[in-house]
Amino acid sequence: MKTKAYIHITLLTLLVLQGCGIYSFTGASVAPNINTFQVNFFRNNAAIVEPGIDREFTQRLQDLISSQTSLNLTNNNGDLIFEGEIVDYYISPMTSTSQNTAAQNRLTIVVNVRFYDTKNENNDLEQRFSFYYDYPATAQLVGAVKENALNEIFERITQDIFTATLAKW
């Protein structure tokens, strides 16, 4: 009797999930005729050029899309194309002490993204995405502090890009 109930529950679950169409558990909504994606190099055009962040950002976006979808990464002629540039990278004081010195600094990175869906131009998008990381003014933005800042900022920006382009939230 338990076996019959298990089979019925399994079949019902499969029917419900099949009815969901092109939905995935990551939130991506990719049409069935889309098979590949391309992430062009995001050049660092910010006034302050931090070496290597352009390559790291490009790689992080490729990795996120690869891990959250079943699309294949290609170098050219992708069904979906992501391109853009890092347009701002700056540090600003956020809070001050009673001695009028900074108690906390904020690193902000802004990325301009152009997204092209070669199968459906209505999905094309150009938008700026930004995020920040606050750290104590007594710390230098090097080593672990810089690594943590870039990790947090890139994780948030790439997820926001994914959501805006593929999850349509």
**What is the distance between the alpha carbons of residues 169 and 152, in angstroms, rounded to a whole number?**
21
Residue 145's domain comprises 31-167
Tens digit of pLDDT for each residue in 46-82?
999 899 999 999 999 999 999 999 999 999 999 999 9
Q: Is 129 helix (H, G, I), strand (E, B) or coil?
A: strand
In a domain, 25, yes or no: no
Q: What is the mean pLDDT of residues 82-102?
A: 85
pTM: 0.81
Angle at 79 between CA 77 and CA 83, to 5 degrees: 75
Q: Is 15 helix (H, G, I), strand (E, B) or coil?
A: helix
For residues 114 and 98, the model is more confident at: 114
Q: Is the pLDDT of residue 6 over 60?
A: no
Q: Indicate the pairing of strand 80-96 with strand 125-136.
A: unpaired
**What is the distance between the alpha carbons of residues 44 and 31, in angstroms, rounded to a whole number?**
32
Q: Is the pLDDT of residue 24 over 70?
A: no
CB 39 within 8 A of CB 73: yes
pLDDT at 95: 75
In a domain, 22, yes or no: no
pLDDT at 98: 65
Tens digit of pLDDT for each residue in 113-147?
999 999 999 999 999 999 999 999 889 999 999 99
In a domain, 14, yes or no: no
Of 39-53, 70-84, 88-102, the one with minimum mean pLDDT is 88-102
In a domain, 83, yes or no: yes
**What is the distance between the alpha carbons of residues 94 and 26, in angstroms, rounded to a whole number?**
34
Cα distances (angstroms) measured from residue 91 to each of 42, 46, 54, 66, 107: 20, 12, 17, 31, 4
Percent of the chain with pLDDT over 90: 70
Q: What is the mean pLDDT of residues 8-15?
A: 53
What ranges in the chain are assigned the alpha helix state H?
A: 2-18, 53-68, 143-162
- CATH label of the domain that carries residue 83: 3.30.160.150
**What is the distance between the alpha carbons of residues 123 and 163, in angstroms, rounded to a whole number?**
13
For residues 48 and 14, the model is more confident at: 48
Domain count, the chain: 1
For residues 23 and 147, the model is more confident at: 147
